[in-house]
């Protein structure tokens, strides 16, 4: 039985992240949505971006449905028989990008169950203080020294070859991806995920980094979602609550959507912010942006923005390649083609 994850009905609502990836490749919790399906099913799934009829022996699933150990069979049954699926305590559905951080606490707890799956954690150094240690899982190769990890508030997952430097204070639920680093004295609050090959520093609360992104220095990041290959300069901070404590609204496809009263920074792939950048509540930054200047950035920054000008595509690609080299990677032909296409469509 083939499982097809279809994002044709949810792509636009999840911009800017689905401008550079399939919706099933969004990271929420420890894993991406696609990785969750494959771990639960024990086999690969197929991604599509078009409405099509299911072939015999296959099931088409909306890619924004978040599978867990206790709901994936219900989702498959509903999709098999064409039943509409509604959000509930058991099933979460991503319609908008800020929901990635809003659901992340729940998602880490659910992923922890399927990722651990009766495996044994690697032991940690006696220099650390562990609270509720049975709720902490450390993969092989991870280095943790002289830090406090409190898993009484939720599970903590530390990925392969991750490095938690001295003086970290961590409250679960928290997930640190493979090869990622927490700098000295970092303060992590629950509901936070740093995907693979990220760097964290300062104060981070209820936020998600997809992967290969950095917030390496002091500054506050809360209730935020950061894509891949992003960098937040030293002292960068965001507001996540309006001074009025009122609701935060976004315009999505000409419709005004109430996002609740707590939303931080939404930043698309390949974007960066200069030192001491201050983002207002509910700021949304597009793809390939370079944020700098003396003023607060606008609440909505369009794709390929460079300061108050438009990036040239050649410079954008050169700058991305320079950042990728720092993590021993390089731009792929697939990325170059996609970014050129996006650039022309946003002209």
Enclosing domain of residue 7: 2-95
Give the distance from CA 281 to its chain's centroid: 18
Instruction: Clarify whether residues 303 and 195 are in a common domain.
Output: yes
CB 212 within 8 A of CB 218: no
Considering 42, 61, 95, which residue would you say is the last residue of a domain? Answer: 95
**For residue 90, what are the contacts with CB-CB under 8 A and spacing of at least 6?**
68, 70, 71, 74
Are residues 243 and 279 both part of a single domain?
yes
pLDDT tens digit string along 244-268?
999 999 998 889 999 999 999 999 9
pTM of the model: 0.96
Q: Is residue 88 part of a domain?
A: yes
108 in any annotated domain: no
The mean pLDDT of 208-225, rounded to a whole number, is: 98
Decide which of 78, 95, 112 is a domain's last residue.
Answer: 95
Closest Cα partner for 123 from 109, 110, 134? 134
Are 83 and 141 found together in one domain?
no
Q: DSSP letters along 312-335, please?
A: PHHHHHHHHHHHHHTTT----HHH
- Mean pLDDT value across residues 102-126: 96
* Sheet with 169-171, side-by-side order of all strands: 129-131, 148-150, 169-171, 187-189, 203-205, 220-222
Neighbours of 77 (CB within 10 A): 11
* Per-residue pLDDT reduced to its tens digit, 63-112: 999 999 999 999 999 999 989 999 999 999 999 999 999 999 999 999 99
Whether residue 102 is contained in a domain is answered as: no
**What does the pLDDT read at residue 189?**
98
Same domain, 152 and 214: yes
- Is there a single domain that holds both residue 181 and residue 307? yes
| DSSP E strand boundaries for 77-165 | 92-93, 129-131, 136-138, 143-144, 148-150, 156-158, 163-164
Residues 118-155: b if buried by 16+ CB within 10 A, e if exposed:
eeebeebeeebebbeeebbbbbeebebeebebbbebbb
Mean pLDDT across the stretch 180-191?
98
Give the domain-ending residue among 53, 78, 95.
Answer: 95
When divided into structural domains, the chain yields a total of 2
Quote the pLDDT of residue 107.
98
């Amino acid at each position: 039985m083939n499982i097809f994850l279809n994002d044709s009905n949810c792509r636009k609502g999840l911009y800017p992240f689905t401008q550079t990836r399939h919706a099933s490749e969004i990271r929420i919790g420890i894993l991406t949505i696609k990785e969750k399906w494959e771990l639960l099913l024990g086999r690969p799934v197929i991604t599509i971006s078009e409405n099509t009829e299911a072939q015999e022996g296959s099931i088409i699933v909306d890619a924004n449905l978040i599978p867990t150990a206790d709901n994936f069979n219900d989702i498959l049954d509903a999709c098999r028989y064409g039943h509409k699926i509604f959000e509930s305590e058991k099933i979460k559905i991503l319609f908008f990008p800020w929901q990635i951080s809003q659901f992340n606490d729940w998602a880490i707890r659910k992923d922890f169950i399927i990722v651990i799956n009766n495996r044994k954690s690697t032991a940690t150094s006696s220099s650390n203080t562990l609270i509720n240690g049975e709720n902490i899982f450390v993969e092989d190769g991870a280095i943790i020294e002289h830090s406090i990890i409190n898993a009484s508030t939720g599970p903590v997952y530390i990925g392969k070859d991750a490095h938690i430097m001295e003086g970290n204070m961590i409250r679960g639920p928290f997930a640190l991806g493979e090869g990622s680093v927490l700098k000295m004295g970092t303060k992590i609050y629950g509901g936070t995920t740093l995907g693979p090959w990220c760097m964290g520093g300062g104060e981070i609360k209820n936020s998600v980094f997809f992967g290969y992104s950095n917030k390496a220095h002091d500054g506050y990041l809360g209730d935020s979602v950061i894509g891949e290959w992003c960098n937040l300069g030293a002292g960068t901070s965001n507001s996540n609550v309006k001074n009025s404590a009122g609701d935060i609204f976004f315009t999505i496809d000409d419709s005004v959507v109430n996002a609740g009263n707590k939303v931080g920074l939404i930043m698309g792939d390949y974007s960066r912010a200069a030192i001491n950048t201050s983002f207002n509540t509910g700021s949304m930054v597009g793809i390939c942006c370079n944020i700098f200047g003396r003023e607060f950035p606008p609440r909505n920054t369009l794709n390929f923005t460079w300061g108050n000008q438009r990036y040239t595509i050649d410079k954008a690609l050169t700058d991305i390649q320079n950042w990728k080299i720092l993590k021993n990677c390089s731009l792929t032909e697939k990325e170059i083609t996609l970014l050129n296409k996006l650039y022309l469509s946003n002209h």
